Chain A
Amino acid sequence: MSEKVLMCGNEALGEAAILAGVDGYFGYPITPQNEATAYMARRMPEEGRVFVQSESELAAINMVMGAAATGARAMTSSSSPGISLMQEGISYLAGLELPCVIVNIMRGGPGLGSIAPAQGDYFQATRGGGHGDYRCIVLAPASVQELVDLMQLAFDLADQYRITVMVLGDGILGQMMEPVELRKLPRRDLPEKTWAITGARGRPQNILRSLLMTDNQLELHNKHLQEKYAGICKSETRVEQFDVDDADVICVAYGIAARVVKSAVIVARDEGIRAGWIRPITLWPFPTDAIGMAAEHKGREFLVVEMSCGQMLEDVRLAVNGKAPVRFYGRAGGAVPTVEEVLEQIRKIAPVIVD
């Protein structure tokens, strides 16, 4: 085991990308992810790799597109308004099936909003965000260590499925310092990038295009994408569960909100409340089965906690499918729920069991 270092999330994600072999980083400054861009500006040239500060997030995502098209590992990082600006490019990346990693260190919105941590971009991240029928894989780390590990997974998933992987954190994850082990994870066995445009030497021309106007090609392409997405749902869904088996109330939360929820659940257990906790690690694909299974248990209630006005709530409701009541507690616009607030909600739902 390598030793632990104290690092903020924004810097750690950069170092993790370097561990994962990122070839090019392209980004535009925005709080609360600025440390990531500055870190990469320092570290990428040290590693003999490419760093470009783009003129906008529009340019950044298109630089990523160019780099990815050549078969390189490319990434960008930004925060909410910048990610909005990238949506056109993300849709093209989906159409072209180019792999890349995008980090969104979310801040309060809508509009310029605030620079405080939030989870208001869940819909944008998990529904596609740009135009057309597509998905991005969305990973939601809840600690700096998990951020380091999931960043590396992100590059593998991107290459394996030729897809955009978004790592969705929030301002707290980006800014807070935690001890991390900068461990290099083994790389998956990945397909060769025979589709990359590198120069047509000894082979026919490679074309990367998303305009498909004849012979029903576009519907076929969409069907192909949907099959790919279905495969990802089957193989790549990740979820963490805690004290679920006997729980009367199950809290569902992701990212930093899940840390708060975990603390609340522990206190609730101490108080004699049978509380448990489900934390989606992949927001897309969403752990529908795990939540659906938990909902089979009679007499249970669910409590969704988010740093938004209720976005993942919809996915939880779909997963629960009417089998149990689903309540919601959220803080928005940069406010963070406290352990006490969540505990209050749990107490309202669940009876104290005196054994």
Chain B
Amino acid sequence: MQTVFSRTPTLKDCTTHYCPGCGHGLAHRLVAEVIDELDIRSRTLGIAPVGCAVYAYDYIDVDMIEVPHGRAPAVATGMKRMRPNNIIFTYQGDGDLASIGAAEILHAANRGEKITVIFVNNAVYGMTGGQMAPTTLLDQVTATTPRGRSQQNDGFPLRICELLTVLPGTAYIERCSLHDPKHIRQVKKAIRRAFEHQVEDKPGLTLVELLSPCPTYWRKSPKEAMAWIANEMTKVFPLQCFKEPEKS
């Protein structure tokens, strides 16, 4: 019998701690596949966030460090400056990157650090029990917006890609989604492109945002969660390549 699909070696052979229908597992697999396709496993250094993906090092088989909440881009800066020939990536949730770590990502991007950022936007804080994230949609009910996110009290959903695109220090910015196979293929392409840019040692920070399902804290079935991304999240977070290496 012919093998048509197998687990990529950099993804460890184990069960994850993620909830059913969670997007992190998918995102991990795609990152691992790209690392293997580019044959960079032995020189890739990963940074795990504080968030549901804190155990990323238990699943992605590269050298990794777990760092304080939101500070991954600063840690990545220290690593890349010391070891410019290594491929450095951060893997961060939307609370980690867009809220507590907003300053670190902004300045790493503005310095044009040659790192790759995998930004997983699930519109909530998963790890702490489904509280509002900066990316939570207006009227979305979370543990800390029991009446729905109100613009007066909580401000607006924060669009990171749009913000970072205006910085000359960024090279490649794309927002994709994990809600169906077609879009997942696009995620893979984008992650590959981001890593390739770094492998080629081209200037600028690369970031791929993934709209990612959190059925548990959206109080939806996995299937409903996928539909909610397609129908609601993409309205606020349009899927788009905001900045391409060739054009920057």
Chain A residues at the B interface, C-beta cutoff of 8 Å: 23-24, 26, 50, 52, 54-56, 58-60, 62-70, 72, 74, 88-89, 92, 96, 197-202, 205-211
Of B78-86, B148-156, B192-200, the segment with at least 4 beta carbons within 8 Å of chain A is B78-86
Residue among A54, A59, A199 making CB contact with B86, cutoff 8 Å: A199
**B42 A200 Cβ-Cβ under 8 A:** yes
**Complexed CA–CA distance, A200 and B104 (Å):** 27
- In the complex, how many angstroms separate the beta carbon of B33 from the nearest chain A beta carbon? 17
Main secondary structure, interface of B, reads: helix
A-B contact pairs, 14 of them (CB 8 A): A24-B81, A62-B67, A62-B71, A66-B75, A66-B78, A67-B78, A89-B71, A92-B67, A197-B63, A198-B83, A199-B86, A201-B42, A202-B42, A205-B64
User: Which residues of chain B in 20-34 are interfacial with respect to chain A, using CB atoms and an 8 Å cutoff?
Assistant: none
Of B54-62, B170-178, B203-211, B212-220, the segment with at least 4 beta carbons within 8 Å of chain A is B54-62
- In the complex, how many angstroms separate the beta carbon of A214 from the nearest chain B beta carbon? 11
**A67 B67 Cβ-Cβ under 8 A:** no
- In the complex, how many angstroms separate the beta carbon of B148 from the nearest chain A beta carbon? 32
Specify which chain B residues have a CB less than 8 angstroms from the CB of A211 in the assembled complex: 54-55, 66
Specify which chain B residues have a CB less than 8 angstroms from the CB of A92 in the assembled complex: 67-68
**B103 A56 Cβ-Cβ under 8 A:** yes
Please tell me the number of chain B residues within 8 Å of chain A, measured between CB atoms.
Answer: 35
**Complexed CA–CA distance, A69 and B66 (Å):** 10
**A66 B103 Cβ-Cβ under 8 A:** no
User: Which one of B41, B65, B78, B103 has the highest number of Cβ atoms from chain A below 10 Å of its Cβ?
Assistant: B78
Specify which chain A residues have a CB less than 8 angstroms from the CB of B66 in the assembled complex: 96, 207-211
**Complexed CA–CA distance, A66 and B77 (Å):** 7
User: Which residues of chain B in 107-163 are interfacial with respect to chain A, using CB atoms and an 8 Å cutoff?
Assistant: 107, 111
Number of residue pairs A-B, CB distance < 8 angstroms: 131
Residue among A50, A96, A200, A210 making CB contact with B63, cutoff 8 Å: A200
**Complexed CA–CA distance, A122 and B48 (Å):** 33
Q: B234 an interface residue at 8 Å Cβ cutoff?
A: no
Closest 4 CB pairs of A and B: A66-B78, A62-B74, A63-B78, A197-B63
**A198 B86 Cβ-Cβ under 8 A:** yes
Residue among B43, B61, B65, B75 making CB contact with A201, cutoff 8 Å: B43
**A66 B62 Cβ-Cβ under 8 A:** no
**A205 B78 Cβ-Cβ under 8 A:** no
**Complexed CA–CA distance, A96 and B63 (Å):** 14
Specify which chain B residues have a CB less than 8 angstroms from the CB of A63 in the assembled complex: 74-75, 77-78, 81
**B71 A59 Cβ-Cβ under 8 A:** yes
**B63 A198 Cβ-Cβ under 8 A:** yes
- In the complex, how many angstroms separate the beta carbon of B21 from the nearest chain A beta carbon? 23
- In the complex, how many angstroms separate the beta carbon of A168 from the nearest chain B beta carbon? 23
